[in-house]
Amino acid sequence: MELVAMLLRGGIFDRPTISGLLLMFVVAFLWVPSIWMLVDLAVGTVRHARNLPARPLLGGDRSALAFIIVVLLADVWFLTRYVTYSNARYYLPVFPLALIAAYAALVRLQIPALGREILLVAVTVLLGGSTVRMVDPVSRKIWGTFDVGDRSFLSITSLRRECCGHGRDQLAYNLEFTQFASLQDELYERLEPSDSTVLVLPEYGDWSTVGALDAVTHHRTMRSSGVVRPRVLMAPDTYNLQAERAWYIEFPFIRDTTYIPLIARRFDISEPCRVTHDGYSLAVREMRLRSSAAVSPTMAARPANEVAGKSPCVLPAPALSVK
């Protein structure tokens, strides 16, 4: 019964539905082929109202196209009924069917073959470019952006004000989020962490972002040997941390306005040092336990002589600056 109730859920203009539709038909220049379909729908509606004959579908199979459109509409309905996070990957079944329907719209609108080819090449370039960089002005206007150095990402969570700052899985609307891997490798290469290094992440900032690091390059790796595993804590878990030194990594998709002031009650926190890569930026702060802080033994305690990691803030590397 719960499944039936979910599939029959009303509210086609509520925030979850609107967010889902925008991720299916608007984000990253998808609004361009969507316009073709809307124009075709409008023309077909007017012709139907005037009792005009159906337009020809030259070179196409009407029954096959009808099946594709039915499946497309069913996908849209089912995927907008289940309310979850605004993750673009959930809507993968829609994209290929929508592009087929968009091309059929060009045929039904009687766009000449050369015109269709030009439009398809243009859309291919726009969609291809959008897989690595979000330059679509419409998407940037709808969702807004947040800065990652000199670059900016879409704030997909802005429409629904859903969990986790600017998003975690929500950032995977294209491949630009993979820049965080390069930024972390740059940071760990300079920090040279060991098994006893303590890394602190903002709340909701841990999505398997660190893991095992190569003992030589300090880049992240999937190997099980020749690696170091820094100790990773969430900011809320540092209340009883007794490590003399730790590093707070400021992932830009999570804005911490709560825990840094709390951490500052026991630790001296440096100004952020920024590691950059191809215009993207990641900040880190050095945390030093004050001598007046309590030193009662806890599960989180580490002897001071075991705390490893050198400060990236003092290296004269061109990729690192203090702001």
Q: How confident is the model over 237-250, as a mean pLDDT?
A: 86
| Contact by Cβ (8 Å): 160, 86 | yes
pLDDT band at residue 323 using 50, 70 and 90 as cut-offs: very low
pLDDT at 8 over 80: no
Q: How confident is the model over 144-153, as a mean pLDDT?
A: 92
Q: Cβ–Cβ contacts within 10 Å for residue 59, how many?
A: 7
pLDDT band at residue 140 using 50, 70 and 90 as cut-offs: very high
Q: What is the mean pLDDT of the chain?
A: 84
Burial of 186 (0-12, 13-18, 19+ CB in 10 A): buried
Q: How confident is the model over 13-20, as a mean pLDDT?
A: 89
- Domain extents in the chain: 2-130, 178-322
CB under 8 Å to 92, separation ≥6 — which residues? none
Classified as helix, coil or strand, 70 is helix
Residue percentage of the chain with pLDDT more than 90 = 41
Cα–Cα dist 158/200, whole Å: 26
| Contact by Cβ (8 Å): 209, 251 | yes
Give pLDDT, residue 103: 95
pLDDT at 92 over 60: yes
Tokens of 260: 């840094």
pLDDT at 3 over 70: no
Closest CA to 116 of 105, 127, 126, 125: 105
Taking only the tens place, the pLDDT of each residue in 247-266 is 999 888 887 777 788 888 88
Give pLDDT, residue 322: 36
Cα–Cα dist 143/238, whole Å: 33
Taking only the tens place, the pLDDT of each residue in 179-228 is 988 898 999 988 888 888 899 988 877 766 787 898 898 888 888 888 98
Q: Which amino acid is at 109?
A: L
Gyration radius of the chain's alpha carbons: 26
Give pLDDT, residue 42: 95
Cα–Cα dist 43/46, whole Å: 5
Cα–Cα dist 153/136, whole Å: 11
**Which span out of 55-64, 110-119, 176-185, 256-265 was modeled with the highest average pLDDT?**
110-119
